[in-house]
Amino acid sequence: MGERVRKDALFDGFADVAKALANGRRAELVDVLAQGERHVEELAEEIGQSVANTSFHLRTLAGAGLVVTRREKNRIYYRLASHRVIDLWSAVRDVAAAHHAELDALAAAYLGRRDQLDQLSRVELADRLAAGDVVVVDVRPPAEYAAGHIAGARSIPADRLARELRTLPENVEIVAYCRGPYCLLADEAVRLLRRRGRTARRLEDGFPEWRHANLPVQSLPIQQRAHVNCETNA
């Protein structure tokens, strides 16, 4: 009997981690935190929830060991506990894409048709960057770019791309990227660029996958990140 109880407790422990992700808002929090650490007010705005609800979801993730915190003055910042959490989130997405009967329809309803949206792999983009014949644009929010981005990428958030299009060189292919394979920002950027007559594609996944593949990344110094965060929250 004692062995059964101990085995049940072990597998319940495994299930606790799975249950922490068994909510769409918590899964979205993991997706956002894969870009870098954020404080609760930023996260609440990202997932469209109140600060109280967001704090509850973050406590659930922390209780399962998926996120950790640090305090800076009066703010608490959250980040993923390790790259293994990104692996877990990627595995959940991959299994859902392979076996969830309705996922394709759900993705299409959110992202729109992608059959005319050319994508390129991380390996191909790394080769193109090395050759210097492509412009890479990070269309995520500035704070995420500051925390980490593909080496050589320019930061032009999606909501500023139309205004700043003239700053991009002509007759050069543009590659846009954002948070991952189900991020709408890069799709919208590529569609806008093509409507304006530019040659454009999107990276097939996003920055977390690029970084996890040990491809070249850069980040802004801590002082500049703080300045970017202040501007973003103003």
Determine the residue type at 210.
Answer: W
Which residues on adjacent β-strands are paired with residue 76? Answer: 71
Q: Is 178 a catalytic residue?
A: yes
- Using CA atoms, how far apart are residues 10 and 91, in angstroms rounded to an integer? 21
Q: Using CB atoms within 10 A of its CB, is residue 87 exposed (0-12), middle (13-18) or buried (19+)?
A: exposed
167-199 CB burial, b ≥16 within 10 A, e <16: ebeeeebbbbbbbbbbbebbbbbbbbbbeeebe
Rounded Cα–Cα distance for residues 56 and 133 (Å): 46
Measured distance CA(89)–CA(30) in Å, rounded:
7
List 137, 178, 189, 190, catalytic entry: 178
Distance CA 221, CA 146 (A): 8
Q: Which among 202, 88, 80 is positioned nearest to 140, based on CA atoms?
A: 202
Active site members: 178
